[in-house]
Every structure is written in C-alpha cells, then in structure tokens.
Amino acid sequence: MSVCLWCLEKVEDSLSFANLFYRNVMPRQMCDHCYSQLKPVSKETVKCAGCEKMSEDDLCLDCRKWKKTYPEYDFKHRSLFYYNEFAKAYMKKYKVMGDCELSSLFALELKAHLGPLSKQSRIIPIPISQGSKQTRGFNQVELLLDSAEIPYIRALENVGQGEKQSKKNKADRMETQQPFILETEMESLVTGASVLLVDDLYTTGRTLFHAADVLKQYSPKRIETFSLFR
Ligand SMILES: [Zn+2]
Ligand SMILES: [Zn+2]
C-alpha cells in the first residue's frame, strides 16, 4: 500500500489500465480521487488530429500555421492529459517550486504509455536551458522519465539564452528561433532511427517542432512527439 504523493491519502488498488498492467512493476503514486481530477486525452475527446488540442476543427489554428512553416511534417502529437487546473497545480509545485519527489506522481501512466514505445524508438527528452538548470536544479522531463524507468538519450543540448517562455506572448513564442543543437556523439544514434521527442507540456508546439527540425537534419527514420500534458 503506497501513499498518494499529491494528497498523502492511502492509494487503494484500482482497475485503471496502467495499474492493471504495471502494479507489479512499480507502486501507484496517485489515489483515485486525485486521478479523477485529471482529464485524460482519449479516443472520445473531440480534438485536433495534429496536436490533440480540444478543437472542433480537424486541424487547429496552431497546427495549420505550423503546416505552412513545415509542410513536409506529418506530426501526430500524443499526450496523456489535458492541462487543466489539477495539471497546472501539479506543474507549479513540481516544476516551478522544484518539488522533485513529484516526478513519480505519473510514473505508472508514463510507464504504461512510453514503456512499449521505448523498445522501438529512441526517447529524447527536451533539454532545459542552463539558466533553468541552475534555478531548478533538475530537468523536469528527464526526472519524469527516470521515475517511470524509461531509458532515454541526452541527444539535444539547449544553447538558448533569451527571456523565459512564460514572459513572452503567444506570437513571440511561435516566432522564436530554436535553441537546440544535437550532441556530436549522438548523431549516429539518431540517423536511421525512430525517435520520440518528449516534453512535459505542449503549449504552441514550438519547442517540439524546433527540436524535431534539428533532428531532421540527421535523417532519422521517423520523428514522433509526446508530452505528459496538452
Ligand atoms: Zn491523492
Ligand atoms: Zn493542433
């Protein structure tokens, strides 16, 4: 019996998909009550085919804009949960306030989704800037993967300085140049491989598109993208 990392209540065994398959592998760290406050991205959700944003259109405005910039891409972004109030509160405590123990809250769900994918694709977490590393002390995406025991490679480096994303407006964020480079010794791991770029949150898609754009120069077989929240 484990304790919910969010509300500290006892976690009962539940019949969720992730729990059924992985309860013998790692303890569940979130209680049913907390889980019920999340909004999973499911087959039934009405959403954009490109990025899973809740949308009546087949492709949302952001995706249509990206399509003009990157016409050759056929991105089908996947996420686990929508960025609702619970997710925002989580990200504030985990990422902004730096409570790194919370990296395990979604371990079971991430393991269930990314575990099988990690056998066929190289998992590449989005790197954070040196500034963020200094203030937070950890890469929140890598820590999520560590907690879920998902193997990954640190292929990209974030060399950008600039202002914080959150201080920019949406138009600025979509225009900003990409701050990523591929580590030279990782080139051979990317060429010809299926890669899955992983981020914590998909906002405009800019971060993942720019990371994909860097990887693309090294001719991977396929690039897919994933984020915990959408
Ligand atoms: Zn709870
Ligand atoms: Zn979209």
CB-based contacts of 145, cutoff 8 Å, min separation 6: 110, 114, 123, 125, 152, 198
Q: Is the pLDDT higher at 170 or at 31?
A: 31
Into how many domains does the chain fold? 1
* Ligand nearest the Cα atom of residue 60: 2
% of the chain exceeding 70 in pLDDT: 86
* Ligand nearest the Cα atom of residue 202: 2
Per-residue pLDDT of 193-209, as tens digits, reads 999 999 999 998 989 98
Per-residue pLDDT of 49-103, as tens digits, reads 999 999 999 999 999 999 898 887 777 899 999 999 999 999 999 999 999 999 9
% of the chain exceeding 90 in pLDDT: 66
Q: How far is the CA of 185 from the centre of ligand 2 (A)?
A: 33
Here the CATH number for the domain that contains residue 83 is 3.40.50
CB-based contacts of 63, cutoff 8 Å, min separation 6: 48, 49, 50, 51, 53, 75, 205
Residues linked to residue 95 through DSSP beta bridges, in sequence order: none
Which element (helix H / strand E) includes 35?
Answer: helix 32-36
55 contacts 38 by C-beta, under 8 angstroms: no
Range of the domain at 126: 2-229
Beta strands in 159-193 (DSSP E): 180-182
Q: How far is the CA of 123 from the centre of ligand 1 (A)?
A: 29
Q: How far is the CA of 200 from the centre of ligand 2 (A)?
A: 17
